[in-house]
Amino acid sequence: MMTDQTSLAKARKACFDDLPNFSGHPSEDVERFLKSIKNIAKVNEESNNHEVLEIVRGKLIQAAGLWFDNHEHIFKEWSDFETAFRNRYFSTTIIHKKFAKLKQRTHLSDEPVTSYTDDIINLCRDIDPTMSDSIIIQHLMSGINPEFRKELSRHQSCMNSLDEFLKYTKIEQDLYDTFEKTRQLAIESKQSQFTNYHSQNPSVATTMKQPTNISITNINK
């Protein structure tokens, strides 16, 4: 048990070390920073607020670090810091850029549906952490492969939650992959048969490749 706790502590420290510092520059992503902190510290109602705030302070530098020091006395709980931090550093410019990216994001023809859905969901959560499942599903449907959209529309009445939507997209992806694999095997089989036939009948291949020479003299006759 102690070994597991030690390993977990080391893993969290590694994540903390990899987390970029936050200086308060307008180009920095407030929501991504908060999300990373919450993931590392596993913030919940039972969290030790002092420890979480210590983790935060370790990553705030320059103007953001000074801001924290000047307001630390009002941060009784994580939620106090989170609200004040958003109010101070939230950038509408970044949100507009993310929303534009969300609108432009489409499901590529050779892209696994899970890759597309993960990307859209992350963008939605970055834009609005409280965005409802129904709105996220609308964004997912608007950019998904038309073939997938057609099939998913048949289950629309059943997809009342994001989990339900993801379940049906996985089913459609599995069916699509099975069909593509079968089609590819059929093509490869035909190509193999064609190659084998001509390897066993070289005269046929030679005849097919040999150009037809018609004598001009014969034509004139």
pLDDT tens, residue by residue, 123-155: 998 888 889 999 999 999 999 999 889 888 888
Q: pLDDT (tens digit, 9 = 90+) per residue, 61-76?
A: 999 999 999 999 999 8
**211 within a domain of the structure (yes/no):** no
Q: What is the DSSP letter of 162?
A: H
Average pLDDT over residues 79-108: 90
Same domain, residue pair 77 and 28: yes
Calculate the average pLDDT of the chain.
Answer: 80
Q: What is the mean pLDDT of residues 67-88?
A: 92
State whether 42 and 108 are in the same domain.
Answer: no
112 DSSP assignment: -
Question: In this structure, are 99 and 149 located in the same domain?
Answer: yes
Band of pLDDT at residue 172, cut at 50, 70 and 90: confident
For residue 139, the model assigns a pLDDT of 95
Q: At which of 90, 106, 141 does a domain end?
A: 90
Query: Within this chain, do residues 85 and 98 fall inside the same structural domain, yes or no?
Result: no
For the chain, the domain total comes to: 2
Q: What is the pTM of this model?
A: 0.56
Cβ density class 131-143: b for 16+ within 10 Å, e for less: eebeebbebbbeb
| The amino acid at 200 | Q
Taking residues 85-100, report their average pLDDT.
87
Contact 93, 26 (CB under 8 A): yes
Assigned domain for 2 exists? no
* Within a domain: 1: no
Domain membership of residue 81 as a residue range: 9-90
Same domain for 105 and 186, yes or no, is yes
Whether residue 110 is contained in a domain is answered as: yes
The reply to whether 32 and 124 lie within a common domain is no
Residues 146 and 177 both lie in one domain: yes
* Whole-number pLDDT of residue 193: 59
Say if CB 127 and CB 121 are below 8 A apart. Answer: no
| CA separation for the pair 82, 221 (Å, rounded) | 97
Q: Is residue 208 part of a domain?
A: no
Q: Which of 27, 62, 90 is the last residue of a domain?
A: 90
Structural domain contains residue 205:
no
The residues, any chain, with a CB within 8 Å of residue 214's CB and separated by 6 or more, are: none
Last-in-domain residue among 48, 69, 90? 90
Say how far residue 139 (Cα) sits from the centre of its chain: 13
Say if residue 41 is in the same domain as residue 82. yes
Q: Give domain status of residue 206, yes or no.
A: no
Q: Do 172 and 146 share a domain, yes or no?
A: yes
Please check whether residues 32 and 63 belong to one and the same domain.
yes
d(CA 29, CA 93): 10
Specify whether 39 is located in the same domain as 116. no
| Statement to judge: residues 82 and 15 lie in one domain | yes
- Is residue 219 one of the residues assigned to a domain? no
